[in-house]
DNA sequence: GAATTCATACTTGTATACAAGATACATAGC
DNA sequence: GCTATGTATCTTGTATACAAGTATGAATTC
């Protein structure tokens, strides 16, 4: 793996885990030193992150972790709804939808005793569910765009499943979406899917503010040192 | 403007105007020499173009202009349909849609004598029409993704209006889409819009192959020299 | 004390030098 | 003639040096 690639992933993790907080300013050499690399691969990584929407550059005047903006996240959630609903509508018209969804059905339409309970696992599985839907769409570009949108949302979305009750609710919502698709009930499927995504979005919005405040206190030593 | 930015735009133009043909291999130093720049800004430009889907890098083994792939373009056209139809559906439910569409109406619902006839102008106007729709969606992220998709399609889409009859057809299709939205006839509007985009896509597919062959002959001197 | 100017330190932007790896081709061995 | 191996060349990956611009703060002037 490239050094640039390593730096890219590390920076992303730092941002995701709130070690670098929204609004923080930093310089290329600072990152280079921390990552034990020269500025060249760091710059490459930073420009990728900029295109991903995580950081922004100020001309000859440093970088900044993109400040949080809930309008931004909500708009991305909206895009997710549009893309996923489109795929679901198509699926409802396909005769082999049962086979295509078989994998998802075994995971989500199981007995309560067989359900995953760890928030991290469920966050991963939830992502797989929505990616799985897009895979059924037979449109690689739409899939790529959807993946990109989900990636941008990951920073807030992972917090969803720490909220009490959201894991159980997710199981029920997913299985009823799958049920609707299998019944070829397009309007019910899209309605349930939209509701599911909106619920997740609303939960996340409420949590995120607190998480950032927590992180800001946790790393306050680092900041004051500087 | 950055040197990297200049190189980025120039390379894009070279690819769009078929001076660099799909499938062509090239190296960073080659480009740097042609653009009178060092490899650093060239690399930055190339990595941006890679993310845009125009070129690809082979590890320590040079670059390539992305070979044409109609499946790729058709999938992107599909994404356009999904996004634009979504916005149109929303517009049909807004009470102030007449004011929002006023600009587009004066351009497209005019007398035949007032219509633009130059293919380049019409290509520009057509793009503005579809961007204009997305602007009405009040979702900046969706708008940005749509712009991105259109940008990727520009390389083939600009050929559309050189086909006899497509300019006139575009005027009629656009005005009937606008008419349907103003009548709040959501299903007719999306049907017309889908048909319009599909027609454009089909025209383009037929033309593009010939254009590349033409360009390949036109620049054959350059290639054989090398 | 307030405003202005100038110097300094710090930032990114760009060029260049070198390292590491891939490819192609010639050459040796069979 | 065929295969294997080694070398030369070319490629990108990375580090570093320098150029150009920005912000900050101290010194100066009023």
Q: Among A86-95, A175-184, B1-10, B156-165, which is the least confidently predicted range?
A: B156-165
A83·B78 Cβ contact <8 A:
no
Percent of chain A with pLDDT over 70: 96
Contacts of A56 (CB under 8 A, 6+ apart): A50, A63, A64, A66
Hey, what CATH topology would domain B3-67 get?
A: Arc Repressor Mutant, subunit A (1.10.10)
A53: left (phi over 0), alpha (psi -120 to 50) or beta: left
Split chain B (226 residues) into runs of 10 and give each run's mean pLDDT: 92 92 92 94 94 91 90 95 98 95 94 88 94 96 96 86 89 97 97 96 84 74 39
Tell me whether residues A141 and B44 touch, CB distance under 8 A. Answer: no
Give start and end residues of each alpha helix (H) in chain A.
3-16, 28-35, 39-52, 70-93, 97-108, 119-135, 140-157, 166-182, 186-218, 220-225
Q: HSE on the CB side for B203, CA within 13 Å?
A: 19
The predicted-structure confidence for B70-93, as pLDDT tens digits, reads as follows: 899 999 999 999 999 999 999 999
Residue B149: per-residue pLDDT: 96
Separation between Cα atoms, residue A111 and residue B21, nearest integer Å: 56
- For A6-24, the pLDDT digits (tens) are 999 999 999 998 899 999 9
Q: Residue A79 is nearest to which of B43, B48, B145, comparing CB atoms? A: B145
Q: Tell whether the model's pLDDT for residue A222 goes beyond 70.
A: no
With beta carbons under 8 A apart, name residues in chain A contacting B142: 75, 78-79, 82
CA A72 to chain centre: 13
Alpha carbon distances (Å) from A224 to A22, A32, A216: 17, 21, 11
Rounded-to-integer distance, Cα A39 and Cα B154, Å:
34
Q: Where in chain B is the domain with CATH 1.10.10.10?
A: 3-67
Pick the CATH number of B70-212 from 3.30.43.10, 1.20.120.530, 3.40.50.10480, 1.20.210.10: 1.20.120.530
Q: Which of A40, A58, A76, A82 to mutate to test the interface with B (most CBs of B within 10 A)?
A: A82
pLDDT higher than threshold 70 for residue A221: no
**Chain A closest-CA separation from residue B98 CA (Å):** 24
For residue A76, list chain B residues with Cβ-Cβ distance below 8 A.
Answer: 141
Q: Which residue intervals of chain B bear CATH 1.20.120.530?
A: 70-212
Nearest CA among A161, A143, A175 for reference residue A204: A161
């Amino acid at each position: 793996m490239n050094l640039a690639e390593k730096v890219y992933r590390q920076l992303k993790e730092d941002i995701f885990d709130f070690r670098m907080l929204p609004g923080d300013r930093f310089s290329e050499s600072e990152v280079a030193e921390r990552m034990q690399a020269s500025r060249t691969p760091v710059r490459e990584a930073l420009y990728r992150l900029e295109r991903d929407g995580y950081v922004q550059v100020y001309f000859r005047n440093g970088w900044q972790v993109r400040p949080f903006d809930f309008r931004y996240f909500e708009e991305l959630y909206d895009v997710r709804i549009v893309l996923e609903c489109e795929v679901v509508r198509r699926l409802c018209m396909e005769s082999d939808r049962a086979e295509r969804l078989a994998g998802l059905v075994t995971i989500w339409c199981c007995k309560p005793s067989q359900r995953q309970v760890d928030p991290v696992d469920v966050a991963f599985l939830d992502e797989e569910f929505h990616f799985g839907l897009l895979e059924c769409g037979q449109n690689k570009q739409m899939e790529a765009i959807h993946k990109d949108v989900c990636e941008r949302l990951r920073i807030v979305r992972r917090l969803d499943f720490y909220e009490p009750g959201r894991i159980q609710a997710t199981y029920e919502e997913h299985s009823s979406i799958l049920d609707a698709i299998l019944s070829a009930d397009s309007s019910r499927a899209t309605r349930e899917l939209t509701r599911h995504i909106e619920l997740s979005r609303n939960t996340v919005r409420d949590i995120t503010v607190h998480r950032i405040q927590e992180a800001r206190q946790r790393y306050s030593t680092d900041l004051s040192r500087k």
